[in-house]
Amino acid sequence: MVRMATAAESFVLAIGTKKGLWLATSRDRQEWSLTGPHFLMSEIPSIGIDTREGRTRILVGVRSPHWGPTVAHSDDLGATWTEPEQGAIKFPEDTGAAVERVWQIYPDAESRPGVVWAGAEPISLWKSTDGGEHFELNRGLWDHPHRSEWGAGYGGAAAHSIVVAPSGETVHVAMSTGGVYRSADGGTSWEARNKGISAYFMPDPNPEFGQCVHKIAADAAVEGRLYAQNHHGVYRTDDNADSWNSIAGGLPADFGFVMLTHPRRDGTAWVIPLKADGERIPPDGRLAVHRTDDAGNTWKRLSSGLPEHEYNSVLRDAASVDTAEPAGVYFGTRGGAVYASADEGETFSEVASHLPDVLCVRAAVVAGA
């Protein structure tokens, strides 16, 4: 069933690449119109689409290899962009640190308007209360005693996943490499929460922290349930990350970067497996999304509409869902192809091809456009 946008709304898909941002709009999630590139020759590793307060604000992490990182936002679907004069995100002087790249922009819940979280490299968590125009460093995580032992994944050392529980008190962040950390007090203090997640690449394969988690996402309806795609390993927790259990059975590979969850339905999540750490291609060169509807007990392979052969990988934030019914699923490859599904992954169509490497995609149902 094709879900059309109402007369007053449309679908927006923001595509962040290594060389700029493209914005796609659609009425039916089948036919798309693209504009771009915005920020040509700057990479766009993070995007947040904030549809709260009756406004659509697109926030982007921008990074030029020459001119550094910044955060910009647009309230008119990309027609104009604003960058705060003094910068939206910068380390306090006493830290002696400088932002290298903004990896994650996460608008908080409807009940907390104006609150936007960000994850950055070096490993750091940030919070804005003015819609992403100014961010403040989370000192609890920055001053964490484990910091000196956190490492850098291939892409850099960053906090790349942020999950805030509906109450706002429980916050999970995931970092590469360091693993999953949880705050039970709204971000004041943090504890490593990686029990059950393997770190096979370390002398102790079951350390308290040091895991290379690639992405975490919260179940839509079951509080305390999260899913994790790890550097080899797919996991679920039902106790707010006190313990994790493998749900990789039924998948063709337990490696990959993507973890998506349904906007409303419990038990539904998507991954895009890659064969292995040492072979970062879709298994057998055949690209497919896998969806579970029972919290990881079983998985369904979904590839209708996807190319027969594909040897590019899909990065951790190069996938997204929208909030429509049925939910849309979107992803882009490092080969510059972008796909959309209007039926939760059952069928895909190509939105764009031959773009630069896709680093991040985010989709939303927005007013107007």
Partner 1 sequence: MLLPSVLQPLAGGLSVLTTPADGPVTVASLLDAVASDYAVLGRRLRDETGALRRYVNIYIDGDEVRRLQGLDTEVMPGQEVLVIQSVAGG
Binding site for partner 1 (CB under 8 A): 41, 64-68, 70, 83, 85-87, 90-91, 93, 96-99
**Least Cβ distance, residue 102 to partner 1 (angstroms):** 13
**Least Cβ distance, residue 90 to partner 1 (angstroms):** 4
**Least Cβ distance, residue 87 to partner 1 (angstroms):** 5
**Is 34 in contact with 337 (CB distance < 8 Å)?**
no
Q: Which is nearer to partner 1, 68 or 252 (CB)?
A: 68
Q: Which is nearer to partner 1, 40 or 109 (CB)?
A: 40
Both structure tokens of 28: 């039916």
Q: Which is nearer to partner 1, 139 or 195 (CB)?
A: 139
Distance of alpha carbon 125 from alpha carbon 25, whole angstroms: 31
Instruction: Sort 263 into a burial class: Cβ within 10 Å, 0-12 / 13-18 / 19+.
Output: middle
Q: Which is nearer to partner 1, 101 or 127 (CB)?
A: 101
Find the length of the chain.
Answer: 369
Query: Phi and psi at residue 122, in whole multiples of 5°?
Result: -65, 165
**Least Cβ distance, residue 320 to partner 1 (angstroms):** 26
Q: Which is nearer to partner 1, 86 or 148 (CB)?
A: 86
Half-sphere exposure at residue 239, Cβ-oriented, CA atoms within 13 angstroms: 8
Report CA-CA distances (Å) from 174 to 17, 40, 64, 233, 316.
Answer: 22, 30, 25, 15, 12
**Least Cβ distance, residue 256 to partner 1 (angstroms):** 25
**Is 25 in contact with 48 (CB distance < 8 Å)?**
no
Residue 107, preceding peptide bond in cis (omega within 30° of 0) = no
Q: Which is nearer to partner 1, 93 or 204 (CB)?
A: 93
**Least Cβ distance, residue 316 to partner 1 (angstroms):** 21
